[in-house]
Amino acid sequence: MNLLTPLGLLGLISIAVLILIYIIRPNYQQKVISSTYVWQLSLKYKKKRLPINRLRNIILIICQVLILASCAFILAQPIINEAVELERAEKVAILDASASMRVKEGMALSGDSTVEDTRFERAVEQIRALAEEAVNDGGAFSLILADAEPKFLIRQAGKDMLSDINDTLDALIKDDGDCSYGTADIDAAVMLAENVLVKNAGAQVVLYTDADYTDSGYVKVVNVANEGEWNAAILNVTATVVDNYYTFTADVACYGKNQVLPVYCEVNGVNDSDKVVEMNVINTCNDDKTVQYVFDKTVGDAIYSFDSAQIYVQVDDNFSADNVYNIYGGTKETVRVQYASSLPNIFFDGILMGLRDDMKNEWNIEVDQLQKGETPELKNRDIYIFEHTMPENIPTDGIVFLIDMDKAPLNAGFALGSEVQGRFHLDESTEEHPMTQYLNTGSIEITRYKRILSYDGYEPLMYCGGDPILLVKNKPDEKVVVLSLNLNYSDFALRPDFSFFMYNFFNYFLTSTVDKPVYEVGESVKVNARGTDVKFMGPDIEEDLSTFPCEIRLKNIGTYSILQKLISGEQVNKNIFVKVPASESNIHKSGGFIISNRGENDSKDWYDDLLVYFAAALVALSIIEWILQAREYF
């Protein structure tokens, strides 16, 4: 028997304290007194009971000692480390399916011919031999595929399932196999293996991987990497605007080899044309360190816009998945805004110019501000702003913003009432909505607004005296904002709240389709839509999307496209690039440790039983001690 917490035995000191209490407690002294027949008779009975009292006291002391001893042993957490007989020669193989397992090695055959196999394929063949050994010895075999979400492929199969085992292993390496382009959760795979160890504690767990571990615990690690393998990797590329022109910076490394490495940059659709600009930079990559390559107008033509850029290396390394890196989004989408007002004010002029400058890295905003008396366009605009004088029908091919309406357009879907004059403050906003965030609505003062009597399909967001004054409709084919107050009779436009409101308006309706242009395998892309008929396409997926925002897990490398139809009818395409995680490019990883719930010689099975036994003894002794005490005093 072993103790998990030996310090718990300090509780045995309480036994010495108990004995000391019995020694130092006061004893009754005999006194000679006159007696009567009753006293003599009482003494007679007491002398007869004396031997039994002594026995009871001895048993009581023993019970108390045992109670204290039981408490001390419970604190010490006793266990029995009993060697468990191996029920059968069971093997659990964990197959690392991370991207670096795709590293290829050329193996020389007779003559000049070579055959290439990957680390993943080598691991599968070694697992095949392990499986045959296990089942031929009368044991069982299990296989866990360790990728981002590990899973059992084979679970405790015997000799009668050897053909099924071989079929599963053959399928792993067929047609590029099940080796991923992402990272593997090895710790989660080991946790799965422990489900087998619960039933057979003597089963052996073997991890087939390409990394070395400082501490692997009870897991046997088989490294299938070969010496001489090396990899030149484009780890990351950024496109930044410097002096209105793009500069491309690439982080490049060589793992397993020192190399003078030329890196090439090819930029397509340069400066709103079909022009292609090619550049190259040569640096030396040593000692697995990251080196920066900079491509700017000093090594090529000045670039102020582009459709796509590809940065790549042309080398014969052992891992090609990170030799190419694509960048998209160098040409900003144009947003055409029309501001039509029968009484233009400086508030819109200033805020629209500010938005154009602040959003220039994401959108090319063109503002068409009509002069008084000019006829507004009712088509071919992305955003229409009408103030005071309303058209008969609002446009249906863009986002429409109506302010201080003189009438309700026929197809707008709301009805106007009379004008209300006075001195009012907007009601405190209790609605949480992107259009009203950061607004202190309760402090905005107005003196005129028009009542809105009905507003089918709109969401009311701001009120004055219980009357809705801000309505929003955001449907795939209908996007309208209604603000029924006159900015000239309010301090709204004079406050920072108006700037927040207009920024909210643009950000809410001009939704970025995706958060960034480049993702890693295993990440999820959140797709938003500005229109209808959205299709998500990539190397391993083609899906029509209907609810937004939606998240899609990226499982392959390459270019993915989001094609959507705006309410104007225009088709817009957004590309993103998905790359191998930078950590997987280091094909000679080392260090780290494997997390598990078991020690190397885990004998946990008897632990709970011993605690139960000591707890049962403690309860039983407590009951006996109580009975003895009761017999003595009652």
Q: What is the DSSP string of 322-372?
A: TSEEEEE--SPEEEEEEEEESS--HHHHHHHHHHHHHTTTTEEEEEEEPPT
Strands 151-157 and 141-146, how do they pair?
antiparallel
- Domain segments of the chain as ranges: 2-26+35-82+607-633, 91-107+116-228+589-595, 231-328, 333-506, 518-584
Would you place residue 57 in the very low, low, confident or very high pLDDT band (cuts 50, 70, 90)? confident
What is the structure's pLDDT at 263?
98
User: Alpha-carbon distance 416 to 478, whole Å?
Assistant: 20
Would you place residue 602 in the very low, low, confident or very high pLDDT band (cuts 50, 70, 90)? very low
Tell me which fold the domain 231-328 belongs to: Immunoglobulin-like (2.60.40)
For residues 368-379, give the mean pLDDT.
91
Strands 518-520 and 571-579, how do they pair?
parallel
For residues 74-87, give the mean pLDDT.
62
User: Alpha-carbon distance 328 to 141, whole Å?
Assistant: 47
CB 265 within 8 A of CB 295: yes
Q: What is the pLDDT of residues 161-214, one digit of tens each?
A: 999 999 999 999 886 678 999 999 999 999 999 988 888 888 999 999 999 999
Contacts of 16 (CB under 8 A, 6+ apart): none
Read off the DSSP letter of residue 546: -
Q: Write out the DSSP string of 254-308.
A: EESS-EEEEEEEEEEEETTTTEEEEEEEEEEE-TT--EEEEESTTSS---S--SE
CB 195 within 8 A of CB 136: no
CATH 3.20.20.140 assigned to 333-506: no
CATH 2.40.40.20 assigned to 518-584: no
What is the structure's pLDDT at 82?
53
pLDDT at residue 607 is higher than 50: no
User: Alpha-carbon distance 155 to 137, whole Å?
Assistant: 17
Would you place residue 368 in the very low, low, confident or very high pLDDT band (cuts 50, 70, 90)? very high
This prediction has a pTM of 0.77
For residues 562-566, give the mean pLDDT.
92
What is the structure's pLDDT at 335?
94
User: Alpha-carbon distance 171 to 168, whole Å?
Assistant: 5
Residue listed under structure tokens 């900015």: 487
Residue listed under structure tokens 């991207």: 99
* Domains 333-506 and 518-584 fall in the same CATH topology: no
Q: Tell me which CATH homologous superfamily contains domain 91-107+116-228+589-595.
A: von Willebrand factor, type A domain (3.40.50.410)
